[in-house]
Homo-oligomer: A and B are copies of this chain.
Amino acid sequence: MEKDNNDYIQNIRDALPEDGTIADLADLFKMFGDPTRAKILGCLQLRDLNVGEIADVLGMSVSAVSHQLRILRAGKLVKGTKEGKEVKYSLDDDHVTKIMEYGLTHVNEER
């Protein structure tokens, strides 16, 4: 019966996505899991913006925003394009808007 129980547990384990996939999934959601990054992604859904503009909208330092943009870039959620001495940022992923919309729907339904 120990064996039955182990099989039972093993079956569930086998049905789950691989650890690497789970890690990727968690990393993706982590991007949206910080208010500053969520706001940045929210802005960029409205229009492309440079770093200074994002900092103004959020009321934060350019440096703090730049640090978060680096993380979002690494996660391939935004991309930055140099235009003269500015860097214009835009969403780099079709899913970003949908994922945020879905989350917002959920949050707004909460009672």
Say whether A51 faces chain B, with CB atoms less than 8 Å apart. no
Say whether A22 faces chain B, with CB atoms less than 8 Å apart. yes
Q: Which of A13-47 contact B (CB under 8 A)?
A: 13, 15-17, 19, 21-35, 37-39, 42-43, 46-47
Contact partner of A110 among B9, B24, B37, B53, CB < 8 A?
B24
Say whether A99 faces chain B, with CB atoms less than 8 Å apart. yes
Q: Let me know if B38 and A107 touch, CB within 8 A.
A: no
Say whether A56 faces chain B, with CB atoms less than 8 Å apart. yes
Q: Let me know if B99 and A95 touch, CB within 8 A.
A: no
Q: Let me know if A102 and B98 touch, CB within 8 A.
A: yes
Q: What are some 7 contacts across the A-B interface (CB < 8 A)?
A: A16-B42, A16-B46, A21-B107, A22-B38, A22-B42, A26-B34, A27-B33
